[in-house]
Amino acid sequence: MEEYTQYLNGIWDRNWLTNNGPLVNELELKLKEYLKVKHMLFLGNGTIAIQIAIKALGLKGEIITTPFSYVATTSSIVWEGCKPVFADIDPHTLNIDPARIEEKITPQTTGILATHVFGNPCDVEAIEAIAKKHGLKVIYDAAHAFAVTVNGRSVFEYGDISTSSFHATKIFHSTEGGAVFATDSELIKEMSFLRNFGHNGPETFAAVGINGKNSEFHAAMGLAVLKHIDALLAARKTQAATYDEALKGLRVQKQTIHAGAQWNYSYYPVIFESEELLLRSMEELNANWIYPRRYFYPSLSTLHYVERCETPVSDSISKRVLCLPMYHSLKKEDIYFIARLLLRAQNN
Ligand SMILES: *Cc1c(COP(=O)(O)O)cnc(C)c1O
């Protein structure tokens, strides 16, 4: 709070609250440096980031996407007047299965919107090959993938555009916030107009824009958190290792992480053998004031506003997956307590 307050003093001194202010610029610079990426734009949230990405690439018609993500991935497609077409996920990586993407391509398909689920990078090489072959654009919803690399390169630099979320629940956050990343500077320029009502001058407009920008107060929170990001990431890795140890004997499936990835351990998903066992486990935890999230549930192919399609893997996993508590001050003994409750639920 003291570190945040220091930034607030500066905001009061300058009387500059929003509209591409100095803290927004500083955050963008520091993030580019930290993540080793060429370009990024700080935005109001991760949902407007997806919408701006779809708009900037001019996607129309059908977008092939994953049914296993947060609702914003699908709703952004619908909000932009496009049709989400779901390709089922791989049961091990929990990411969109490239083999299922090709089956879904039609003459109306213009793009692929895939999520790096729980920060686990998609099969970016296979997706790139499919996109090239069929002339499709690729957007990655990388909301969970802060600081993740694939083959030594930031995961945010894959695809035509990557989007991220800096919402308070994410490992790096600015209270509310988000970003778009692209290696093409023209595309970044276009998106910088789009995030600011289309302005390319005080009285001129390059395109139909939206208000996607973010404020000095949010940038201040981002700067304050960024100072501690290495400690935040290190703690998550230790906590994940503690869970691994504590959960021995629990019959759950874990996510398979991309072999070339440096992962961020920001979530701890476990997949139970049945939904019944998941519900029993949640009940046991809730009775002890522990509230894990059914993340992601339900499968997005079941939303009432999309065309139904068969995604049996996603349907099955979303009913059985639970993200166990993960937060910076989570103590080792709490993890062991959670594990004991889960084992009790399983063995009862
Ligand atoms: C959090 C999240 C979003 C939405 O980001 P907001 O910043 O909350 O708008 C989109 N996709 C995924 C996968 C997310 O986890």
Q: Are strands 321-324 and 268-271 parallel, antiparallel or unpaired?
A: antiparallel
141 lines ligand 1 (CB under 6 A): yes
Q: How far is the CA of 70 from the centre of ligand 1 (A)?
A: 6
Ligand 1: nearest atom to the Cα of 170: 1
46 lines ligand 1 (CB under 6 A): yes
pLDDT at position 88 over 90: yes
164 lines ligand 1 (CB under 6 A): no
**Where residue 126 falls among pLDDT bands split at 50, 70, 90?**
very high
185-213: per-residue pLDDT in tens? 999 999 999 999 999 999 999 999 999 99
**Where residue 254 falls among pLDDT bands split at 50, 70, 90?**
very high
Ligand 1: nearest atom to the Cα of 176: 7
- Residue 171 tokens, joined: 């490992």
45 lines ligand 1 (CB under 6 A): yes
What is the predicted pLDDT for the residue at 214? 98
47 lines ligand 1 (CB under 6 A): yes
Residues 6+ apart with CB under 8 A from 30: 223, 226
What is the predicted pLDDT for the residue at 331? 98
pTM given for the model:
0.97
Mean pLDDT of the chain: 97
- Rounded to whole angstroms, the Cα distance separating 342 from 315 reads 23
Substitution site in 42, 45, 47 for ligand 1 pocket (most atoms within 8 Å of beta carbon): 47
3-state helix, strand, coil in the chain (%, to 5): 45, 15, 40
Ligand 1: nearest atom to the Cα of 49: 9
149 lines ligand 1 (CB under 6 A): no
pLDDT at position 348 over 90: no
153-167: per-residue pLDDT in tens? 999 999 999 999 999
243 lines ligand 1 (CB under 6 A): no
Go through 101-137 and write b for each residue having 16 or more CB atoms within 10 A of its CB, e for each that does not.
beebbeeebbbbbbbbbbbbbbbbeebbebbeeeebb
- Rounded to whole angstroms, the Cα distance separating 306 from 208 reads 26
Residues 6+ apart with CB under 8 A from 328: 232, 235, 236
Q: Give SS3 for 165.
A: strand
**Closest Cα partner for 216 from 71, 8, 55?**
8
262-305: per-residue pLDDT in tens? 999 999 999 999 999 999 999 999 999 999 999 999 999 999 99
- Rounded to whole angstroms, the Cα distance separating 81 from 5 reads 42
Q: Are strands 109-115 and 137-141 parallel, antiparallel or unpaired?
A: parallel
116 lines ligand 1 (CB under 6 A): no
Q: How far is the CA of 144 from the centre of ligand 1 (A)?
A: 8
Q: How far is the CA of 150 from the centre of ligand 1 (A)?
A: 21
298-323: per-residue pLDDT in tens? 999 999 999 998 999 999 999 999 99
Substitution site in 45, 71, 113, 165 for ligand 1 pocket (most atoms within 8 Å of beta carbon): 165
